Structure 1
Amino acid sequence: MTTHLHILKGCAPTPLANYLKALGILRLVGEQADLKARGWWEGERFCLLTTLSKEELERFFLEDYAPTPLVAPWNGGSGFFKKDNRKAILAIRSSSSERFEPFRQGIFQAEQILGDLTVKPEKKQKLAIQRKSVLAWRGEHRKWLDAAFVLDESREPIYPSLLGTGGNDGRLDFTNNFMYHLVLLFLEKSSTRSSGNETRDLLCNALWSDLTRHLEIAAIGQYQPGNAGGANSSTGFDGGNLINSWDFVFAMEGALLFTSCATRRFDPQASSQASAPFAIRSHAAGFATPGFEKAQRGEQWMPLWRQPATLADLSAMLGEARIQLGRQSAHRPIDAARAISRLGVARGVEAFVRYGYLERNGQSNLAVPLGRIEVRYQPRSSLIEDLAGWMDRLQSRSRDGKATARLIHAERRLADAVFAALTHDHTSDRWQAILLAAVEVETLQATGTALEVGPIPRLRPEWVAAVDDGSAEVRLALALGSAAAEYDKRKPVDSVRYHLLPLEPKNAGRFQLADKRLVNDPRVVATGRDPLRDLAAIVERRLIESAQKGQRRSRLVAASGCEARLNDLAQFLRGELDLNRLFGLARAFMAIRWDRWSKAFQPKVNQKNHHPEECWLALRLCCLPWEITENLDIPADERIVRLLLAGDASRAIEIARQRLRSKGIRPPIYAGMTDPQTARRWAAALVFPIHRRTAQNIVGYLSPTMKGAARA
C-alpha cells in the first residue's frame, strides 16, 4: 500500500494553537480515516505519514470528517440558555448532515440533563450538572467531558488549565465557539461557502500554510496570544482577532488527547492545575521576568518527539504523562528540569515546549511559550538534590506574602541558575552561578531574613568538580572554604564558617537564634561588604582567639589537598582575581561535607611556578598554624595583621624580618613598604592555608642556606 509523507507547514510547536492543531489532525486521521497514520515533529513542522494522498487528505476533512461533540451545559454562554448566542447550536441541532449526528446526540443528552433550566446555572446548579454528566454521559461527547474536568474524591471539579475552567476562559466558551466555527465551515449558506471554495482555501491555509483572504474576526482565547487582539496589537488603537476557523477546530480536537489516567491521579502534593498530562505548578525560573502577570493556573510542558508515532502511541505517551523524579512526579519547573536531566520522562519524548498560563492585566489568560527544553542526560544533575529541600523552604518563604523584594529576587535568581544548569550543556560557570546565588540568599539571611529556611545545606564534594574552571579563584576558594582550626578524623573542627554566620556551636547547619533572631556573636567578623576586609578580619580573629588560649598560631588549616599554592597567591596579591567570585565560592564551599573529601575531587592545577614577592613570603612565615619542622618553629604575631590593616606595611615587614632572622632565616630584605591598599591585600592573603611543604619551600627560597634544614 502506498504511503504519503505530508509536511504540515501550518503546524508548529508554537503557538499552542498550532501545536494542538497538529495533534488534532493526527487524532482525526487516526480515528476516522487511517488507523496506521503516524506523526512526528521535524524541526518546526509536523510530519504526517498516511495512506491518504494530499487530495484524499483534503477531501477527508471537507467531506467525511465528523466533528467530536463538544458541549458544556454547565457553562453559561455554552449555547443552551436563553441569553446565550444560540445560532450555532441551533444550526447543528437542526442539521440533517450525517457528519453531525454524534453532535446532535451530545446536544440531546445535555438538554436532558438540564431539564427545564433556561437561565445561566448558579454555582450549585453548575456542580449538579457536572456530576450528572459524569454519571450519565455515554458516546463521543464523553471525550470532551473527560478532558474538560475531573471530579476529585469529594466530587468537586478540578479544571486542567488547558481548557480553562471546564471549557471556558472568562466569558469565552470554547464549546459554543467550536460550534460557531463548524457552522461557518460546513453549514452557513453563502455564495462562496456553498461551493466549498472558501472552506477549502481555509483548510489549505491550516494544513499547508497557503495564503488565504478568508480569515474570520473571532475570539481564539488563550491558544494564540499573537492573534488575541487588544490595545496596540495593530496599526490602530485596538486590533481585531483574525483567525482561521480550521485552526480553532483542529486545536479543540487536539486538546481532547490530554485526558488519561494522569488526569485521574490525585497526588497529595499536586495542585489542581497539575491534574492534566505534563502540567505542573508555575514558577518564574528560566524565563524573562513576568512583570505584573499572574500564573496561578500553572504551566504545561508539551512533548515533542522525532520518531513516527501512531495515535495509539501518542495516547499511551500522554496517558503515562511521566516527568518522574525518583518515585514522585515532578510538580514544579525545577523538579521537571531535574527529572528531564536524569531522563525521567516518558519514552520517546526528545524535547518539551514549556507553556505558562499567564493572566495579563486582569483581563484574560494566555498560553505563553516560555522556551524549549531538550531532553538530555546531565550527569551532575543529582547535585541539585543537596539544595532541593532548602530551595523548597526558600520558595515557600518567598511566597508567603511577608517576603521582602530582596528575598523574592534572590530566590528567583537561584531558581534561574538551577534551571539554566539543568537545561543547557554543562559548563562550570552555570554551576558556579548556582552556588553564588545560594550565597546571595545566605548573605541576605545574615540580616535576619528567612532564618527558618536555614543556611546553605551540606554539599557533596562533587560540587568542586562541577564548578572547577581551572581558575585560581576556584582553588583559593577551596583552600578558604575548607579552612578550620584542625581536622580530626577527616572532620573539620571549628570551621571558618563561624566567622560569617552565627551558627550553633555543634551544628554548623543551623542558625544560632534567640527569640527567633540571630544572636549577636562576636566571632562573626565578615560583613559581606568588602571581601578584602572580611578575609583580613578572619585572620585577625583567629590570631586573637589563639592568643586567648595561650597559643601563637593562626589556627587555619585546609583539608588534605586543598591548600593554597604560591602561584595562585601571587595572582591574588597582584590583584588579578575576581574577589567577589572567589569569596562567594569559598562561602559555598564551607558547606561541603569535608569528611567525604578525597584528593580525587581536587581541581585542576596551574603548573606555572610564580612566587609572591619576598616581603609577603616573610610575612606568611610569621603566620602559620604549626611548626615548619621539629627544629624550626616560628610563632605567629598578631601585630603583623593589625599593622597591615592600618596600612603600615613597613613596620609589619620589619617585625617579620626580625623574627625570621632570630630563627636563622636571613631573607634578602633590609626594609620594605607598600601603599595602604596593597598592605590590606597582604593581610587578606594570609587567610588562605598553605601546606607545610609550601612553608618549607618558602624558607628555602628566602634563605637558600636553610633549604636542607627546612626539610629536616
Structure 2
Amino acid sequence: MTTERRLSVLALPGLSPDSLGNYLASLGLLRVLSRKWPSTRIAWRDEVLQVVGGPSTLDELLDELVRIAGTQGDSDFNKREWTQYDKAWSNAQKKSTKAKSGAPLALWQAEAHETQLQFFAAHAVPHVRVSFNPLLGSGGNAGRRDFAAGWKQAVDVLAAAPKPKGRGKKISEAGAGGSEGPDERRSALQAFLLGRPITWLLEKLAAGSWFSEATKLYNSGQAPAREGQISPWAMVLACEGLALLAGGASRRLGARARAVGAFPFMTQPVAPEAAGEAGRILGEIWTPLWTRPMSLAETNTLFSRGRAELRGRSALTPAAFATAIRRRGVDAGVSEFRRFTLGRTTSANTFEPHLETCFSLDSGSDTRSAAGSRVLARMTSLIEQRGFPRDRKAGQRWRFVGLRGPIEAALLDVAANPDRSEGAIALLDAVATALDRIDRNRGFREGRVRWEPLPLDWLPSLFADEQPGVEARLALSLVSAFPAALPFAAFRFGVEWGRERNGKYEYDWTTKPTCFEHSKVAPARWVWGPGELARVIGAVLSRKLFEEARLDGTNTTRPQARAPFAARLADLNQWFAGDLDEALLARWLSRFALFDWSTIPQKVRAFMQGEVRPSRVDGELALLGLMQPLVDQRSLIVRSIPRKDVFAEETGARTTEAAHSLVTLIRSGNLDAATRLAGSRYAMAGARLASFDAAFGTHDPDRFVAALLFTISDRDRAVLFERWLRPRRRPPGGIIHA
C-alpha cells in the first residue's frame, strides 16, 4: 500500500510578483533552499509565493538562510555558500569594448571556471560583438550602480550578525541572564518574507534597477532628495536569482541576419508613442508565473527555453512576444506573465523597472479567442515587416516617425485584455491612422507595406455583446455590400492586390484579395480623402461604378450582389436628417475596411441581427427606393410582377453605364432628369411607373448619392419600390400594380 506523502507549504506574501526585485528574490530563494531540500518547489497562488516541499516550518527556512549568511565571513572561499558575484570578466569585457569585438570575452569564457560562468551567462553573450542583458546594464553596472559592489556590501553586512541596539538590548540581556540577544538578521528576514514593516534597511546597495524603493527619492524630507533603502536580504536573494537568466547567441534565418544575444523572456523596448519617449525604454522583461509547483530543475528548463516564436522566428519585440503567447500558448504550466519595462530615470545611464500589465493565460479555444489571436498575428506582421516605417537612431538623436508606437501599444492592450472592446477599437483606429500616413507619404510608399485583412470572426469583439449603434450599422451596410473582388478597402486605402506584370496590376471578377499592398504609385481608385463625408462617399460610388465597368470587360462572370448587413429605414432617415455623428461614421467605415469580407460567417450574421422597428417613409426615402435598385445590382423581387427579378439579365434594363449616368444627374441636382431616366429603365424591365405632375428634388444631392451605398433589406426595397408603380384595377376588385 502506497503511503500518502504530504508536502509542507509556506506562504510568503512579502515576495509579491508585482516587484521585479521580489520576483528575482523568489527565484533566488528557490535556488538556495534546493541545496538543502532538493524537493523544494515554488508556485504563485492569489499573488502569494508558495514554497512547497522544502522546509517544514518558517523557522527552519529562517535558520537556514541565516546560517548561509554567516558562511560569507569564512576565510575559506570554498565554504561560502552564496553564489559569488565578483564580475571576474571585467578586464576581458574592457578589452572587447576597446576592440569592438566579442573575441576577448569569448576567450575568457572558454577558460573560466564553471562557478564563474553562472553569473557571466546572465550578463553578456559574446559573438561578433557583445550583447548585454538589459536587466544588468552593461555587464553588471548601470551608470554608477555596480550590482556586484551592492551584493558584496549586502553579504558582508549579513555576515556580521548585528544585534539590536538601545533599550531592547538591555532588556534581552537582563531577561536571559547575560545570554546573547536575538539576531537582527533573522527578524529582518522574517519581516521581509512576510511583508511586514522592516526596520533594518540599508542605502546604496545599487538595487534601484530592480527595486523601485531603492531609488533616490526627491522632494522627500528636509533635503532635496534622500537615498532609497531596502533590506540586504532582498539584494542578496535577487542576485541569487540572476543565475537563471543565462542567455545565448541567437540567429535569425537569412543571408544578412546578424547574431544577437537572447536572454530568457527579454524583449526589445516597446516603440515610442511620442517623440519625447524615443530611447527612454531600454528593454522589457516578461516574468512568468505558474500555479503548479515547480522544482529548480523544472524552473531551469523553463528559463533555458524561455523564448517565444512567431511564424518560426524568435519573438524579439513586445508585440511579437504577446502575439506568440496568445496564438501558440505555453507548454510549461505558465499561467501568467508580468510585463516590466526598464525605463531610464533622471540619469540616462540608470533605469528603473515599471510594471505595465499582467497577461493571464487561459486554455480556452473558442472561436472569438482564436480569431483574436489571428488578428494579433496579422497586426504584428504589419509592423514587423521590413518596409514598415519605424523610428531610428541617427547618431545621438532619434528620428521619430510615430507609426509603430500607437499600434504596438494598442496591440499589447488587446493581448492583455482580449474581451475589452475599447482596446480592440483603439487598435483598429491606430492601424487606419498609420495606413493613412503611409498612403500620403511618398517615402513611406516606397516600402510597399503589405497587410492581411482581419478575420470577420473577431468583429463581435468590437461591440462587447451589445448591438451596434446607428453609425456602426450604416457602416456595416455599406462595407459588407461591396463585392469580394472589389472590396471597400480598395477605395478607402491606396492599395493593390492583383497580379503584377511589368509594373501593372491585373484584375478580374475572380481576383479576391488575400493581402493588400501599398504600391509605390497610388492607384486611381483611391478616392478617399478629407472633406464632407457625404461627398467622399459619393466619390467612392462613382469610382466603384467605373471599376465595375472595367471588370465587366474582362470576360469574367460578375458575382451576385449581396447585402449581408442591411441598414434600417430609421437609420437612413437619420442620415438624411443629419442626425448622427458623421465623424464616428467615418471611423467605423475605416475600421470595417480592415476586415476580410469575402465570406461572412453565420455566427457573425446572427450576432448583428437586431430588433427592427417600423419607420416612417418620407420623400427622400421613397426616392431612394426608386434609384437604389438601378445602382446596386441586387435582385428586385416584387410580388405583383410575375418575373422573379424585375431586372433579370435578359431585359438589359440595368447597366453600369446607366447607373453612372443616374448618379451623375443626381449629384448635379437634376432629380427630374434622373427620375425620367429611372422610369425609362423600369419600362424596359416591364415595370410601369406612375405619373406625377410634380418636380423632384432633395436638399443635399451629395447626401442622397451617398445613401445609395447604404443597402437595405429586400423587403424594404420592395415596399419602397411598390409606391412608384402605376395602379390598375383588378376585375374582382382591389388594386394591383402593372
Q: TM-score normalised to the size of structure 2?
A: 0.75
Matched residue of 2:353: which SS?
strand
Specify the code of the residue in structure 1 equivalent to 2:575: F
Distance across 2 between alignment mates of 1:495 and 1:187: 75
Partner of 1:82: none
Specify the code of the residue in structure 1 equivalent to 2:446: E
Tell me the C-alpha RMSD between the 2 structures: 4.6
1:532 and 2:560 matched: no
Change (3 A) 1:616 1:12: same
Deviates more, 1:317-326 or 1:407-416: 407-416
Partner of 2:671: 652
Q: TM-score normalised to the size of structure 1?
A: 0.77
Change (3 A) 1:10 1:133: farther
1:145 and 2:137 matched: no
Correspondences of 1:544-555 after superposition (within 5 Å): none
**CA deviation after TM superposition for structure 1 residue 349, in Å:** 0.7
2:197 to 190, 211, 235: 211
**CA deviation after TM superposition for structure 1 residue 41, in Å:** 1.2
Correspondences of 1:68-467 after superposition (within 5 Å): 95=75, 99-100=79-80, 123=98, 130-152=105-127, 154=128, 156-187=129-160, 197-218=183-204, 219-232=206-219, 236-259=223-246, 263-267=248-252, 275-284=262-271, 291-292=276-277, 294=279, 297-361=282-346, 362-376=348-362, 377=364, 378-380=369-371, 381-393=373-385, 396-400=388-392, 408-449=401-442, 450-454=444-448, 457-459=451-453, 461-462=455-456, 465-466=459-460
Change (3 A) 1:257 1:11: same
Matched residue of 1:371: which SS?
strand
Deviations 1:604-629 (A, max 9, x none): 22341545523333245235235851
5+ residue gaps, structure 1: 69-91
Verify the 8 A CA contact 1:429 1:467 in the aligned structure 2. no
1:614 and 2:611 matched: no
**CA deviation after TM superposition for structure 1 residue 415, in Å:** 2.2
Specify the code of the residue in structure 1 equivalent to 2:149: N
Partner of 2:64: 60
Deviations 1:508-529 (A, max 9, x none): 8344545xxx47x4x5443134
Specify the code of the residue in structure 1 equivalent to 2:675: A
Deviates more, 1:239-248 or 1:37-46: 37-46
Partner of 1:41: 44
**CA deviation after TM superposition for structure 1 residue 406, in Å:** 12
Verify the 8 A CA contact 2:448 2:520 in the aligned structure 1. no
1:664 and 2:669 matched: no
Distance across 2 between alignment mates of 1:199 and 1:578: 66
Verify the 8 A CA contact 2:271 2:278 in the aligned structure 1. no
Correspondences of 1:507-526 after superposition (within 5 Å): 509-511=516-518, 513=520, 518=522, 521=524, 523-526=525-528
**CA deviation after TM superposition for structure 1 residue 273, in Å:** 7.5
Distance across 2 between alignment mates of 1:529 and 1:328: 43
Matched residue of 2:356: which SS?
strand
**CA deviation after TM superposition for structure 1 residue 331, in Å:** 1.8
Specify the code of the residue in structure 2 equivalent to 1:174: F
Change (3 A) 1:667 1:601: farther
Distance across 2 between alignment mates of 1:314 and 1:413: 35
Verify the 8 A CA contact 1:573 1:682 in the aligned structure 2. yes
5+ residue gaps, structure 2: 170-179, 497-503, 508-512, 637-645
Deviations 1:581-632 (A, max 9, x none): 4434434555655555566653622341545523333245235235851579
**CA deviation after TM superposition for structure 1 residue 670, in Å:** 4.8
**CA deviation after TM superposition for structure 1 residue 355, in Å:** 1.3
Specify the code of the residue in structure 1 equivalent to 2:528: A
Matched residue of 1:7: which SS?
strand
**CA deviation after TM superposition for structure 1 residue 478, in Å:** 4.0
**CA deviation after TM superposition for structure 1 residue 59, in Å:** 0.9
Verify the 8 A CA contact 1:653 1:672 in the aligned structure 2. yes
Specify the code of the residue in structure 2 equivalent to 1:451: R
**CA deviation after TM superposition for structure 1 residue 246, in Å:** 0.8
Distance across 2 between alignment mates of 1:139 and 1:54: 33
Distance across 1 between alignment mates of 2:477 and 2:98: 65
Specify the code of the residue in structure 1 equivalent to 2:377: E
Distance across 2 between alignment mates of 1:138 and 1:510: 54
Change (3 A) 1:524 1:185: closer
Change (3 A) 1:493 1:273: closer
Distance across 1 between alignment mates of 2:737 and 2:698: 31
Change (3 A) 1:581 1:419: farther
Distance across 1 between alignment mates of 2:528 and 2:321: 37
Verify the 8 A CA contact 1:30 1:311 in the aligned structure 2. yes
Specify the code of the residue in structure 2 equivalent to 1:222: S
**CA deviation after TM superposition for structure 1 residue 268, in Å:** 5.4
Deviations 1:413-461 (A, max 9, x none): 2223322222213355544443333222222233225213446634255
Deviates more, 1:698-707 or 1:528-537: 698-707
Partner of 1:699: 721
Deviations 1:78-120 (A, max 9, x none): xxxxxxxxxxxxxx6x73587427878x97x959x979x9x99
Distance across 2 between alignment mates of 1:227 and 1:200: 21
Deviations 1:4-55 (A, max 9, x none): 4322122011221111111111221112x21112211122321212333122
1:492 and 2:497 matched: no
Aligned length: 656
1:8 and 2:1 matched: no
Matched residue of 2:51: which SS?
strand
Change (3 A) 1:387 1:547: closer
1:687 and 2:702 matched: no
- Sequence identity (%): 20
Distance across 1 between alignment mates of 2:722 and 2:560: 22
Change (3 A) 1:414 1:532: farther
Specify the code of the residue in structure 2 equivalent to 1:397: P
Matched residue of 1:206: which SS?
helix
Change (3 A) 1:137 1:191: farther
